Amino acid sequence: MNHLLPLKRVARLNYGDALPTEDRIAGDYPVLGSGGPSGTHKHANFQAPGIVIGRKGSFGSIHWAPAGGFAIDTAYYIDSRSTSVDLRWLYYALNAVDLRGASQDVGVPGLSREAAHEVLIPVPPEPSEQGRIADFLDAETSRIDQLAKVKERSSELLEERRIALTSQLCFRGTEAVNTLRGSEIGSIGKIPRHWQVVRNKTFITEVTSLSKTGEEELLTVSHKTGITPRSEKTVYMFMAESRVGYKQCRPGDLVINTLWAWMGALGVSRYYGIVSPAYGVYRFTSNEANPEYFDYLYRTPEYVCEMTRHSKGVWTSRLRLYPESFLALNTPMPPRVEQDNIVETLKRELEPDRQLRSVIQRSSEVLAERRRALITAAVTGEFDVSTASGRGVEV
């Protein structure tokens, strides 16, 4: 960008206000934080339209609020009282710069107002040109956003199919018809009559060995991808005192994030490494258990529900799945040959979906790149929006 000036020359960021959930009164105004809308409130603290910028959490995020709203204390807001330029143009100009790179407060990452005010943005053109640019980008980004929603819905449908198929096979087996009986597994319901119901502790044991070397790969866990390295290229090195509670993990170990907010985030590891104290590590001790089958089983919504029911804590937000609770859970145990068949069937059936999801993801990334490039080119004056077109984005 050739002609730039600090954001503070054209706008002032205003702090949002604290608004605990219990103090909210449902109304006409959206409540917005760094993550976007989260309910409504009877009152607003900024005018329509407005811009909300993440301060903590998803700091640097940018949200457009055409009807105004209530910005909470994890965010800043800008409305017509705190800027001298067209708000729609400013929204797009902010999308063309990197607010996330502006600041990381010590301790908890965040965007400081001082750093945000120093971020360089394109010099605003004449007011009439600001309006033309905003009109152009409204139309063109709307088309891109509609395409992105179609792709997002396609991914959602694939995910719904994955969940449904996994649940069906993990609790019913690969046969089209099964004679079912009531199980002892709470909300899970019925399983084939010839399957056993056993406690996890009969074929799994907790791993308590801690990090020792100081140079080990840090692993993380998610609902969809299971266990993956925190960074594919980085080996995290820890001082002895900072490794307290970090557990060793090896291929074939089951790792579970025990905190309630991430309940269901687990998987069987393919890596050697360490995991944080918030994770539980378990090792399969019986040849009658195929770890891959239980990798699928434990991530089904039905089993996540069971883990949640047996978690302990004072409030929902503080629930935790303790090892003794997990090991005491009742679990369906098909014969080993059926476990193997279920795993092979799921791999075969879900592989085309995985490949399609990868294509959709890449296509969505291309759309997002196209959107960013279009916004940047328009607000920096790389082309005349009166004659330009954003067509050709059917990715």
DSSP-assigned letter for residue 255: E
Average pLDDT, the chain: 84
Q: What is the DSSP string of 156-180?
A: HHHHHHHHHHHHHHHHH-SSSS--E
Q: Which fold has domain 176-333?
A: Adenine-n6-DNA-methyltransferase TaqI; Chain A, domain 2 (3.90.220)
DSSP-assigned letter for residue 201: G
Instruction: Give the contacts of 11 (CB within 8 A, at least 6 positions apart).
Output: 78, 82, 83, 84, 85, 90
User: Residue 324, Cβ neighbours under 10 Å: how many?
Assistant: 11
Measured between alpha carbons, how far is 41 from 25 in angstroms, rounded to an integer? 5
For the stretch 10-51, pLDDT in tens is 999 999 999 988 889 999 999 999 989 989 999 999 999 999
Q: Are 282 and 206 in contact (CB under 8 A)?
A: yes
Residues in the chain: 395
Phi, psi of 271 (to 5 degrees): -125, 155
Q: Which fold has domain 4-124?
A: Adenine-n6-DNA-methyltransferase TaqI; Chain A, domain 2 (3.90.220)
Residue 330, amino acid: N
Q: Structure tokens of 247?
A: 């557990």
Does residue 318 carry a pLDDT above 80?
Answer: no
For the stretch 89-131, pLDDT in tens is 999 999 999 887 755 554 557 889 999 999 999 999 999 999 9
For the stretch 275-289, pLDDT in tens is 878 888 999 999 999
Instruction: Give the contacts of 177 (CB within 8 A, at least 6 positions apart).
Output: none
Q: Are 50 and 88 in contact (CB under 8 A)?
A: no
Measured between alpha carbons, how far is 241 from 278 in angstroms, rounded to an integer? 17
pLDDT of residue 243: 56
How much of the chain, in percent, has pLDDT values that exceed 70? Answer: 83
- CA 75 from chain center: how many Å? 19
Q: Structure tokens of 52?
A: 């909300």
- Residue 66 to residues 45, 88, 309, 379, Cα–Cα distance (Å): 14, 9, 41, 20
Does residue 255 carry a pLDDT above 80?
Answer: yes
- Residue 156 to residues 22, 165, 365, 380, Cα–Cα distance (Å): 32, 14, 16, 36
User: Residue 286, Cβ neighbours under 10 Å: how many?
Assistant: 12
Measured between alpha carbons, how far is 355 from 273 in angstroms, rounded to an integer? 28
Which of 15-19, 71-75, 298-302, 385-389 comes out lowest in average pLDDT?
A: 385-389
Q: Are 331 and 202 in contact (CB under 8 A)?
A: no
By C-alpha distance, which of 138, 136, 33, 121 is closest to 84?
121
Break the chain down into helix, strand, coil percent, rounded to 5: 40, 25, 35
pLDDT of residue 230: 66
For the stretch 215-254, pLDDT in tens is 667 777 776 667 777 654 444 444 444 556 788 888 999 9
Instruction: Give the contacts of 325 (CB within 8 A, at least 6 positions apart).
Output: 310, 311, 312
Q: Are 185 and 192 in contact (CB under 8 A)?
A: no
Measured between alpha carbons, how far is 206 from 287 in angstroms, rounded to an integer? 17
Measured between alpha carbons, how far is 169 from 184 in angstroms, rounded to an integer? 18
pLDDT of residue 384: 81
For the stretch 207-216, pLDDT in tens is 887 766 556 6
Residue 182's pLDDT band, with cuts at 50, 70 and 90, is very low
